[in-house]
Amino acid sequence: YSTIQYRQYLRLVGEEFVSAPNDILLECVLGMAISFFGVMNMADTLLPVKMAQSFKSKGADDSHCRPEFHLFNHRGKALGLLLQSVEPAGPGRLRSPPESKKLR
């Protein structure tokens, strides 16, 4: 708000706006310093990240196994049935499946 008032004052006086007023710059620097100080004092001590210790007892299969990414309900089964029922009708063309084997 102070910067807007400062710009309006400069327009009335006829001067050019070069930078923000000193009180705004000081306020920004103080706010950043207080925020930095607060974050540094509230944070716990940092612990070293040692991946070798966590993977010592695990094998290659265990480290690449991610059960949260396993998908069981997908379109692969339906596409497999569709592709089995479709036979090539000529070079580069596919014939549509018979009515009895069409998916719903």
CB within 8 A of 55, min separation 6: which ones?
63
- Domain containing 25 equals 2-42
pLDDT tens digits, one per residue of 13-35: 988 888 888 888 999 999 999 99
The number of domains in the chain is: 1
Q: State the Cα–Cα distance between residues 98 and 28, nearest whole angstrom.
A: 72
Q: Which residues of 64-88 are buried (b: 16+ CB within 10 A; e: fewer)?
A: eeeeeeeeeeeeeeeeeeeeeeeee
User: Is 25 a member of any domain?
Assistant: yes
15: in domain: yes
- Top pLDDT among 91 and 32 is at 32
Residue 12 domain-assigned (yes or no)? yes
In contact, 103 and 81? CB cutoff 8 Å: yes
pTM (predicted TM-score): 0.38
Q: Has residue 36 been placed in a domain?
A: yes
